[in-house]
Structure 1
């Protein structure tokens, strides 16, 4: 009670500590949510498939797996038919990816943004305007390109530049052609996506798929689907993690420094007050306890504010990191309830650590 009364009477001098702890906890909450969002994320073009079956991993060269080889056409069709016949599976979609790039745009080396139209059923986004490709020279493109249905575009492929007519636009990245044209441009099938019935259990379906696939491929569900993210995204994610970690460490250090400096200044101003308390019988331990109580009061309020502020800051910062090339496209924050709780506890610890040195002087 005495500590709370002291805080109410000296809130101006403790404002710096309050702001420092609130900002520090907000940064820690935001950063922890970003760091713990996991993996590189399921590729957006496959995120709509709860279960994915991929061809075996390629050879390991220099500690990194090379591009997995595609299944032979007959084997891919046999696996597709067997997977489509499983209970709770609505469809098994062979993914035929190929190199495609609009003239004048940038693209990372080795990236395959061309797909067969049936693959659109596996994406987390859908058709924004127009319709699906019907003819061999039809194509559906990302609406971000700024083209409209009916316009002509030149797409670079492994076979050279090809002119297409835009039949529609998608609300996400990629170039979609007819499945027949994709079969001509793709090097084979490396992934089969499974769409499930509304009440299906993905884990049960994945287990049944493993019995069908055996050693002929990998069955991925849940967060394991991150394994199909582009290799470049792994490096991008690593760089982003270093930036966020450094920001967290710096915020924690600055918070401790500001809190300790603020309380040291407060103690220096209150020497007469502490001297009077000593004169009437207060012990050094009681004075230190008084300061610790003030730190807990200020730190608790500030940590609560910071933990709440960190929740909306996390997706906002994630968006900035994606725009800055420090997180892969499609990266999204996954909220975990214990992160703000842990950040709140850290705020209390930091407040006590910051006031420790000042409390020794008060005694």
Structure 2
């Protein structure tokens, strides 16, 4: 039986090639994902570990929790603490570290390093082992800065050049006094690092004589744990906490691994989809192969082979196919992993240097997935073949499914589909956070139900295409009949395409609906012409709001200044605004009272008003970070949204209580509305700062939409794998269908059907099956998009379902194109059949 199974594999090379390709693509995606994420994770971990070479113990501030009416805060590490740390037994040196966001512009004024990777800090002096100087000298004062060598090389800077940079808004133009090297992971990944002398860094980053961290180097012979114990004894434990360099490196490695796990899981989901689609193809292939060899298997049973031996022979074939697919998929996956890393570079995202990581787990996973998926998919056809009595197999009385089996299948499919629809619809009435699980379960149940019911659905849906097919005469009629001749095979082929289009359509419906909701939210909530903010959403200096207000053509402006407070024993964030101007800059619906901000009068969104039981005229006491308090009065309750919400009070009341006032954004209204001229004035007023974004309402909407667009494009690319696998499935099905109908095709040719008509028949059959899968996929996608939108609507009042008719038409055309392309080779093969040889075929 073993030799028989191997001979069968070798005897059907062309037919099994498509199956190998289908499995190989899924395996390649899995192994490629593992290689890529392991490589990136390993490179970042090694790079970050180097960054802790000069740190044996780090001393950090301990957050003081909010208690009663006292607002929590993080105390600064003082010079006295630094001096004490440097003198503890076992300490060789201690360095005070100051750090924060620092945007560096290239020579064209564009931001270097990216929004989130542009960093700055302090240079401790020529003995600072963290940052060895390559050229130049240490910075002195506000007019000098050091730049990392990678950024300097990328931007073409050298010692003595003037560079434009910004820490919190205002532009600085220091001279580059020197260039240094660093093992900092962000720099290795394409970020930038600018260093000032310590007093300048403390002033720029709001530390005023303090530090963010104290890094202590151990003396020779002193372990990190011993140094940590000495520091714990010397420093106030209620204000600081200590961590060894090893622990910091381990924690950062864990953070990197955790951050990569999300990407890994997302990519593996798409690999799973490709494999899931591939499973249909494998099962379909083996079902047809077994059906073609029914008499051969019956003969084996007649001469003494047992049911187990027949099943085992099919599984041996599957094992051989899965092994080949697993090995080739692993090799292809290694190439995909390397290619994805290179692709990141082409998008401008640098990755630390490091070798390609191919772990034993990746190899095992690739082979296991390839072999197990293939064997599981082949098990049912093999078991079904083994159950057929030899006499029945030889006379082919087993060929058609019994009425009982069809009734059972349709009943089971109806139950699954009904349960899926009920669960999904029920989830739309639940809270958004708790509904995700039930909705996911309902979606799976519905897809399984539709898959089981697909043979039943195929007849009426394909029959609907009959009037169009009649135009093609005999070829069209035969194509329709062939499509419904074996409903199970048609269902398996169409389902592969259905799954991919379900996901693509569902995500497209959601993205389009969200875009419309965001546009409405921006236009309905904001009257301001522009919103000014930092590129990385870090706080703005109050100087920015002052410069904006003084700009010619600005009629109203207001900074949005956030601050923590305590109200009724709870932590609440207050939003300070220009009370006289905020009404001209926003258009928020007022549910109760009036929208009035000034003095002790405030406005609050309805969610917080409900939480605290406030109505217009209610009084409450807010406790600020400086320990002082003030009684405030609710003037009005408004409807908040994702852009504007919370408690608004006048900055004249809030700012005196803040140690370091900072704004999240500044809203601006100009005399003649949004225009290029008005924007240019604001840009020039702020010094053409690369770190500052000046956006109108459409820009805000587009920036948010860009996130969805990027995700959607990634989704299209990843789901393209499932579509490719589906194409292989259609080719496989048609090729085997042509082989099965060789005698029939030969007879048709003999009675006058020419080669063009035969080709047309096969192409139309493929087109009908593909469009059938496309219609099912788009229908399910719209349903899932609607259901997900119902959940989003509970948190986004402006959300409404928008059906992208144009894109859905494109998806249907894509399904048709898949059918046409997939039929090219089978149609050509059918047309080339020798009619006499085909008629004589068994």
Provide the rounded CA distance (Å) in 2 between the counterparts of 1:227 and 1:68: 21
Residue-by-residue CA offset, 1:295-321 (whole Å, 9 max, x unaligned) = 111212321333344345335435656
Cα gap change, 1:159 to 1:256, in 2 (>3 Å): closer
Please point out which of 111, 114, 125 is paired with 1:105: 111
Question: Equivalences for 1:1-363 in 2 at 5 Å?
Answer: 1-2=2-3, 3-33=5-35, 47-50=50-53, 51=56, 53-58=58-63, 69-82=75-88, 85-86=90-91, 92-103=94-105, 104-105=110-111, 108=115, 113-118=119-124, 121-122=129-130, 130-131=135-136, 133-136=138-141, 137-141=144-148, 142-143=151-152, 144-158=154-168, 160-166=170-176, 167-168=178-179, 172=187, 173-186=192-205, 187=207, 188-193=210-215, 205-214=223-232, 215=237, 216-222=240-246, 224-225=248-249, 227=251, 240-314=263-337, 316-317=339-340, 320=343, 336-363=359-386
* Higher mean C-alpha deviation, range 351-360 or range 177-186: 177-186
Cα gap change, 1:82 to 1:8, in 2 (>3 Å): farther
**Which sections of structure 2, spanning at least 5 residues, go unmatched?**
67-71, 387-842
TM-score by length of 1: 0.74
How many residues of Structure 1 are paired with residues of Structure 2 in the alignment?
A: 344
Provide the rounded CA distance (Å) in 2 between the counterparts of 1:254 and 1:244: 16
Cα gap change, 1:45 to 1:228, in 2 (>3 Å): closer
The structure with the largest helix share of the pair is: 2
CA contact (8 A) 1:29 1:339 kept: yes
CA contact (8 A) 2:43 2:351 kept: no
3-state SS of paired residue (2:304):
coil
Shift in Å, 1:9: 2.5
Cα gap change, 1:34 to 1:218, in 2 (>3 Å): farther
Shift in Å, 1:181: 3.4
3-state SS of paired residue (2:111):
coil
3-state SS of paired residue (1:248):
helix
Provide the rounded CA distance (Å) in 2 between the counterparts of 1:101 and 1:38: 26
Residue-by-residue CA offset, 1:221-279 (whole Å, 9 max, x unaligned) = 457536569x9x89975753453242232133133233222222322332333233233
CA contact (8 A) 2:218 2:224 kept: no
CA contact (8 A) 2:61 2:213 kept: no
Cα gap change, 1:237 to 1:345, in 2 (>3 Å): closer
3-state SS of paired residue (1:153):
coil
Provide the rounded CA distance (Å) in 1 between the counterparts of 2:30 and 2:312: 27
Provide the rounded CA distance (Å) in 1 between the counterparts of 2:285 and 2:194: 58
3-state SS of paired residue (2:333):
helix
Alpha-carbon RMSD across the aligned residues, in angstroms, is 4.3
3-state SS of paired residue (1:346):
helix
CA contact (8 A) 1:318 1:331 kept: no
Shift in Å, 1:156: 0.8
Provide the rounded CA distance (Å) in 2 between the counterparts of 1:270 and 1:117: 78
* Higher mean C-alpha deviation, range 256-265 or range 350-359: 256-265
Cα gap change, 1:45 to 1:5, in 2 (>3 Å): closer
TM-score by length of 2: 0.35
CA contact (8 A) 1:48 1:121 kept: no
Q: Which structure has the greater CA radius of gyration? A: 2
Residue-by-residue CA offset, 1:114-136 (whole Å, 9 max, x unaligned) = 1223598447xx77x74454443
| 2:714 alignment counterpart | none
| 2:538 alignment counterpart | none
